[in-house]
Structure 1
Amino acid sequence: MDRQQEYVLRTIEERDIRFVRLWFTDVLGALKSVAVAPAELEQAFAEGIGFDGSAIAGFTRVYEADMIVQPDASTFTVIPWRGDNPGTARMFCDIRMPDGTPAPSDSRNVLRRALDSAAEDGFTFYTHPEIEFYLFKEPYDAKVGPIPIDQAGYFDHVARGDGHDFRRAAITMLEKMGISVEYSHHEGGPGQNEIDLRYADALSMADNIMTMRTVVREVALQHGALASFMPKPLAGQPGSAMHTHVSLFEGDRNAFYEPTANYELSQTGRRFTAGVLRHAREITAVTNQWVNSYKRIWGGGEAPAHVCWGHNNRSALVRVPMYSFGKGHSRRIEIRSLDSACNPYLSFALILAAGLKGVREGYELPPEAEDDVWALTDGERRAMGIDELPQSLSEAIQVMESSELVAETLGETVFDFFLRNKRQEWYDYRAQVTPFELDRYLVRL
């Protein structure tokens, strides 16, 4: 037993922790949980705990259902919203097969493989997400539709606003769990908020994102509200993105920083950006995995629908922020396509794989897009060599299924399940008769 595991067992005893929740994530990014008694934890560290993997989306087939969930002691933290007496804690887990090998269907393992590949080149991958979401009034009435908790806008300060109290409570709870928050504010849509998590390595950050979603939902319920990370819950209002800043480090040195380069972006940074751009269409089915995601991408409101980059252009897919000019550790790129409902483990793995392919194969960065890309005509964009992201989940699936990069990064098990699941989602969506169709056609036709 290592020191971290010993620390966990000691803390559980000292703080009278009676319940330990083991968290893991399915292929679609849903959080799963199983509670164990403290007395079982030592064995869980050593051997794991068996469960029926066939009951979890994308994990395994019925005839090979036995799987093992093994807690990662480094992720141990007390859950503050469950109270102190008796206390409850949680740990993220790795999923293993009965022989102890990593499960090919484990999202966390997919990201770890990508990080190991980067480490072979001497790189550590860091991410910093800006996570947007909406707060709606509870109880939710499907006949009325979602009602935002306020009518405020971007950066608005509302006297006695529910959003202030909510954000303060959510951030306090996150910090109690060891998750640092850089910024929080009201976003552009009514009831829309944003919480930005402090830079961390990609695996820790993916764990933090899963925790943050849970905390936000729990705190919202305590405040009589419903939190939703749905990409586009309100027509005519901004969608909820997860703009993600990324960089590669070699030890303590930011590999994206070169003080004499254009925008201080090094050759490694430029080639990484070129890789993300070249493979953007292939990875979109994962970074934007829901039918509703494409209503955000193609719904305006600064959502990036076109494959291009710029330094001060929020209509671009990739942006080179200039907030911290001259600060080497801060040089990064911002990828603006991800939405808040993605699986962060798979999304980070694919972004890293695409960027590393650009670095390893020496991709050339195309010219910068200096105009508002949304304002250009289709002909102007074509003349500039600007491609577009898929316009629907169906198109995104078609692009993904022919991608060697995505298949190799996700592995056969995750790749095949993801495509099957998304084809079914598109089929189910396509079969619906929507209120839009009834309003427009029922009486006329």
Structure 2
Amino acid sequence: MGSRAEQRESARQLAARLDAEGVGNVALTWVDNAGITRVKSVPAPRLSDVVTRGVGMSPVFDVFTSDDAIATSEHLGGPDGDLRLFPDLDRLTTLAAQPGWAWAPVDRYDQLGQPHPACQRLFARRMVDRAAAAGLELRMGFETEWVVTRAPQDLADAAALDYPCTGPAYGMARVVALSDYLRDVTEALTVQGVEVLQLHPEYAPGQFEVSTAAGDPLRAADDVVLVRETIRAVSARHGLRAGFAPSVVAGEVGNGCHLHLSLHRAGTSLHRTAGADWGLAPEAVAFLAGVLDALPALLAVGCPSPASYLRLQPSHWAGVYQCWGVENREAALRLVTGAPDDPDGGHTEVKTFDAAANPYLVVGAVIAAGLHGIDTAAQLPAPQAGDPGILGVRERARRGIVRLPATLTEAADRFEKATPLREALGDVLHGAVLAVRRAEEAHFAGQEPAEIAAATRWRW
């Protein structure tokens, strides 16, 4: 990181660059355990002070719920204490759709300069470092799905869903109707250094998806935050409103945020091993088996809201059964074979997760589960072909295919008992995540699906 004096000098140079670009404010963001992106902003000329002194913020935000209620855990909660937010200036980005603004993610430390044990971004960094210590390089990328509507002119009509485009799912008609908007989304992301792989209409009304390039897992998590807020800003400039909630309308296809990952050792893909079953090296098999085994508990990380379980329905390409398959979009883990002439083309998609999840928790927890699989020499079962949802109960049982948790309560119960995840997260962060999940359960207990969807529709 360099000395404090070097950091201040680097920050001064960056502030001068921002001034030349007409940037006056910097948004400093972190993502809480309910998946909400929280922010403190500072004037750009203060960067040199901020990188050495940080910005104050209460640790109570680690137990905020999605509706801004405050839960408590054994270690966190209440009005006491303070943290310091330190921006990662390597990710400082001038925001293309918010003139006069820049953005940087933060790491959180206590007032004595020690890492905050519940900092999700530092947790993700630890897991990346743990994999690197084992000689493994992981590359990760996300698909971000969202629904766009016209912003209501009348606040009393804020619940109405007025879609700005019609036409069939995946249809060109939607692109034609919103071509200026979608072009601006792509251009803004590109200017900000986010490589867009593809953008297309999705299944639900007003729904789109953007896929971004894979890279270092920490950068991938940062990119998810930047992608969402960029889409939100571009939407606002077009008089539109973007929603990333898992369930926009109960009973319809919801928004996922699928994770793609690949493993490499010494620059060589472990998904392209000659002569190996499915092309997977033994370490890749064990890693993916660890992730598959941990999925019931990982759902409490990647599907953190009762609304998430409105999306997780069989035969909706959401991956609700604990199985894997080769190019099978109904399997929770989809092995993507990639182009035959692409040595880095093979990877795996985790289909269950959604955009209510904290992406730093997602990448860190998945790495922790995969490394545990390597440590225990875990093995994958036989791959599943076809939709397990159309199999009879007895046939699924014969194949060892079980339903993943269908409620947040069940997922949180599995998460509470998942010793490898608790050890990786640490007691403070694990306890905070669990406290938020229990609070979300209690808040929405007894509510109908339509009520849950309406209450959470615009929270993410």
Give the alignment's Cα RMSD to 1 decimal. Answer: 2.3
TM-score, normalised via structure 2 length? 0.88
Counterpart residue number, 1:440: none
Instruction: Please give the secondary structure, in 2, of the residue aligned with 1:277.
Output: helix
Deviation at 1:63, TM superposition (A): 5.9
3-state SS of paired residue (1:308): strand
In structure 2, relative to structure 1, the CA distance for the partners of 1:7 and 1:155 (3 Å cut) is farther
> Following TM superposition, by how much is the alpha carbon of 1:145 offset from its aligned partner in structure 2, in angstroms?
4.2
How far is 1:326 from its partner?
A: 4.1
Instruction: Work out whether 1:27 is the aligned partner of 2:43.
Output: no
Q: 1:100 is matched with which residue?
A: 113
Over 3 Å counting, the alpha-carbon distance change for 1:331 and 1:143 in structure 2 is closer
**What does residue 393 of structure 1 align with?**
408
8 A Cα contact 2:169 2:204, kept in partner: yes
Match of 2:267 in 1: 252
Question: How big is the shift at 1:435?
Answer: 6.7
Select the residue among 39, 44, 47 that pairs with 1:38: 44
Partner of 1:363: 378
Select between 315-324 and 27-36 the one with higher mean Cα deviation: 27-36
Q: Separation in 2 of the partners of 1:376 and 1:388?
A: 12
Checking the alignment, whether the CA contact within 8 Å between 1:166 and 1:220 is kept in structure 2 is yes
1:131 corresponds to which residue?
144
Matched position secondary structure for 1:280:
helix
Letter in 2 for 1:41: L
Alpha carbons of structure 1 residues 432 and 241: separation in structure 2 relative to 1, 3 Å:
closer
C-alpha distance in structure 2 between counterparts of 1:61 and 1:144, whole Å: 32
In the alignment, the residues of structure 1 paired with residue 288 and residue 106 of structure 2 have an alpha-carbon distance, to the nearest angstrom, of 32
CA distance in 2, matches of 1:180, 1:379: 45
Alignment-mate amino acid for residue 311 of structure 2: R
Task: Answer yes or no: is 1:340 the counterpart of 2:346.
Answer: no
The answer to whether the 8 Å contact 1:130/1:197 transfers is: yes
Q: Match of 1:148?
A: 163
**SS of match in other structure, 2:41:** strand
Partners of 1:128 and 1:244 within 8 A in 2: yes
1:428 counterpart (430, 443, 448): 443
> How much does 1:374 deviate?
1.2
Q: Give 1:113's match in structure 2, choosing from 112, 122, 126.
A: 126
* 3-state SS of paired residue (1:116): helix
Which amino acid in the other structure matches residue 171 of structure 2? D
User: Given residue 412 of structure 1, which amino acid in structure 2 is its aligned partner?
Assistant: D
Q: Is the 8 A contact 1:303 1:337 kept in 2?
A: yes
1:71 pairs with one of 69, 75, 87: 87
Q: Equivalent residue of 2:310, what SS?
A: helix
User: 1:443 matched to which residue of 2?
Assistant: none
1:318 maps to 333
Q: Give secondary structure in 1 for the equivalent of 2:84.
A: strand
Question: How far is 1:141 from its partner?
Answer: 6.3
- Report the Cα distance in structure 1 between the residues aligned to 2:224 and 2:61, rounded to whole angstroms: 24
Output the amino acid matched with 1:22. L
Distance in 2 between the 1:92 and 1:433 partners?
36
Query: Runs of 5+ in structure 2 lacking a partner?
Result: 1-5, 65-74, 452-460
- Map of 1:350 onto structure 2: 365
Q: Secondary structure at the match of 1:136?
A: strand
Tell me the residue number matched to 2:67: none
Q: Deviations over 1:341-382 (max 9, x none)?
A: 211100111111111111222111101111321110111101
> Partner letter of residue 54 of structure 1?
V
Counting matched residue pairs gives 434
Structure 1 spans left out of the alignment, 5+ residues? 437-445
Partners of 2:41 and 2:158 in 1: how far apart? 36
Checking the alignment, whether the CA contact within 8 Å between 2:336 and 2:348 is kept in structure 1 is yes
Matched with 2:69 is none
CA distance in 1, matches of 2:105, 2:174: 38
The residue identity in structure 2 corresponding to 1:155 is Y
1:226 and 2:241 correspond: yes
Q: Which amino acid aligns with 2:374?
A: V
Taking a change above 3 Å as real, the CA distance of residues 28 and 4 of structure 1, as seen in their structure-2 partners, is farther
Partner amino acid, structure 2, of 1:354: A
Take 2:328 and 2:146, find their aligned partners in 1: how far apart are those partners?
A: 23
Partner of 2:135: 122
Q: Distance in 2 between matches of 1:94 and 1:305?
A: 33
